[in-house]
Chain A
Amino acid sequence: TQLLEQSPQFLSIQEGENLTVYCNSSSVFSSLQWYRQEPGEGPVLLVTVVTGGEVKKLKRLTFQFGDARKDSSLHITAAQPGDTGLYLCAGNTGNQFYFGTGTSLTVIP
């Protein structure tokens, strides 16, 4: 059972464009995390959001947790080639992390 659905699955954009990745679920999570994974490596944490409605900004990346704590979004402003990678959301329900299906982002110089 896939609890978290991400969209889009693939995204190819030009450098400088903006983009939004969505992470949706019918389940409520105590926290939600976003990770980025590069080829041949394990995922690396970008951010954790805990409170419904919470918005966190990391430079050009903006993360939002839905009011009902069931969904989240990641917005990247002025994408750069270094943003290329697989973006994964992960919801926590106590001792288990459920990962989304992933969004593969390619930023073309």
Chain B
Amino acid sequence: NAGVTQTPKFQVLKTGQSMTLQCAQDMNHEYMSWYRQDPGMGLRLIHYSVGAGITDQGEVPNGYNVSRSTTEDFPLRLLSAAPSQTSVYFCASSYGAGANTGELFFGEGSRLTVL
């Protein structure tokens, strides 16, 4: 019953460093997505994927890269971390591309601090 697994749970970076947040799901979901959550702003979509080999940008994609080489994994890369990227990051998946009415299953989040 793993569901959506995110690693690491906590990370501190210095400005300019790069890192990858990992996300894996074991529910064979086609749709996967990354959000960031900041106080008073709810969840904002960074990137999403409707299947292996297909990715697209969300509301706030700048400074982030993604790839989807397998159905299970959807890593989020920060190329050159900035203090503005300090946030809590959530990965979510859903059955079916488009997920028109599908439920989003979330991981527990990764708390990132950029100094």
Q: Is the CB of A30 within 8 A of B45?
A: no
Q: Which residues on the B side are within 8 Å of A85 (C-beta)?
A: none
A9 to B39, CA, bound (A): 11
A105 to B54, CA, bound (A): 38
Residue of B nearest to A93 (CB): B100
Q: Is the CB of B45 within 8 A of A97?
A: yes
Q: Is the CB of A48 within 8 A of B41?
A: no
Number of B residues contacting the other chain (C-beta, 8 Å)? 28
A96 to B90, CA, bound (A): 15
Interface residues of B (CB under 8 A from A): 4, 31, 33, 35, 40-45, 48, 50, 56, 58-59, 90, 92, 97-101, 103-104, 106-109
Q: Is the CB of B35 within 8 A of A99?
A: yes
Residue of A nearest to B107 (CB): A42
Any B CB within 8 A of the CB of A92: yes
Q: Which residues on the B side are within 8 Å of A35 (C-beta)?
A: 104
Min distance, Cβ A11 to any Cβ of chain B, angstroms? 14
**Extra 5 A-B pairs, beta carbons < 8 Å, given A1-B59, A42-B107, A95-B48:** A33-B104, A43-B43, A43-B106, A96-B59, A102-B42
